[in-house]
Amino acid sequence: MRELFDEVTGQSPLDPQEAARRNVRAAQRKRFYKSADIAAEDGGFAVTLDGRPIRTPSGKKVTVPARAIADAVVAEWSAQGETIDPLTMPLTRFANSVIEGVVDRLDVVADDVAKYLGSDLLFYRAGHPAALVTREAEHWDPILFWAADTLGAHFILAEGIVHVAQPESAIRAAREAFPSDPWPVAALHVVTTLTGSALLALALTHRFRDAAQIWTAAHVDEDWNIEQWGVDEEVAARRAARLVDFNAAASILKTLN
């Protein structure tokens, strides 16, 4: 059981991309339970397998804050066949990661997200071709305007990849818009890591953009290159694996915010 949860959780609770890579490599294990269910707990809901609560590798009971999330985790366990495939269980992995790596390290995780505000994806723009410049502006400018108007965070844009120092006042204003509870903070971190943008993650958290719009905005440059040169199958497979974790985090934010 412990080895299975090591695989389901992933090596690092703060690195969803590494978790996805590990899950692709992980050997699948035989299903050892008949049914998954939910038990009400103080402050949340526990997911049970044959009446026993699931636990993290360190032995902590997995308790989730909302019934909808518990239902989704149960659905992941119930959907397993003769073998258990961790790649199909993003919410289970997410729950383990929150309890193992975020609950007692909330400020550390939030600070890690805040680091992206100094070099966010949305700040660095293509100088050419004109069509790509226009596309970046179409997807990214509204989020920057929202950050300025709603959050009071006024950032500086740059052409190319040369680093531009951002105003501390802008970083501080955006940082103050972070959620304060472990689950949405963990989801904010996952979205930030997978998109390369804390501002995209904040726009999703505050429902300025939906999940599909955020995912598209995060891949403007990549999609442009695909249109010019075609699809790289290996890159596409990695993107599909990241999307699984992105959708799980987005569902957490939609449920809790």
State pLDDT tens for residues 76-127.
Answer: 999 999 999 988 999 999 999 999 999 999 999 999 999 999 999 999 999 9
Express as a percent the part of the chain with pLDDT over 70.
Answer: 89
Query: Is the predicted pLDDT of residue 60 greater than 50, yes or no?
Result: yes
Of residues 178, 188, 191, 257, the one with CA closest to residue 218: 191
Handedness of CA 136, 140, 144, 145 (dihedral sign): positive
Which residue range is the domain that position 75 belongs to?
A: 2-101
How many domains does the chain contain in total?
2
Domain edge (last residue) among 101, 122, 145: 101
Are the C-beta atoms of residues 217 and 62 closer than 8 Å to each other? no
User: What's the pLDDT score for residue 17?
Assistant: 45
Domain edge (last residue) among 84, 101, 118: 101
Q: Which DSSP string do the residues of 57-112 spell out, in sequence order?
A: TTS-B-EES-HHHHHHHHHHHHT--SEE-GGG-HHHHHHHHHHHHTTT-HHHHHHH
83, 66: one domain: yes
Query: What's the rounded mean pLDDT across residues 174-190?
Result: 97
Of residues 68, 93, 113, the one with CA closest to residue 252: 68
Q: How confident is the model at residue 27 (pLDDT cuts 50, 70, 90)?
A: low
Domain edge (last residue) among 55, 73, 101: 101
Q: What does the mean pLDDT of the chain come to?
A: 90
In sequence order, the 6+-apart residues with CB closer than 8 A to the CB of 227 are none
94, 136: one domain: no
- This prediction has a pTM of 0.90
Q: Which two tokens stand for residue 153?
A: 């965070």
Query: What's the rounded mean pLDDT across residues 135-155?
Result: 98
251, 135: one domain: yes
State pLDDT tens for residues 220-250.
Answer: 999 999 999 999 999 999 999 999 999 999 9
CA angle, residues 202, 156, 198, in degrees to nearest 5: 20
User: What's the pLDDT score for residue 132?
Assistant: 97
Q: How confident is the model at residue 57 (pLDDT cuts 50, 70, 90)?
A: confident
94, 141: one domain: no
133, 182: one domain: yes
CA distance 176 to 163: 23
User: What's the pLDDT score for residue 2?
Assistant: 41
Query: Is the predicted pLDDT of residue 4 greater than 90, yes or no?
Result: no
78, 169: one domain: no
Query: Is the predicted pLDDT of residue 11 greater than 50, yes or no?
Result: no
CATH number of the domain where residue 247 is located: 1.10.3580.10
Of residues 118, 125, 75, the one with CA closest to residue 95: 75
| Pairing state between β 124-125 and 158-159 | parallel
CATH number of the domain where residue 90 is located: 3.30.2180.10
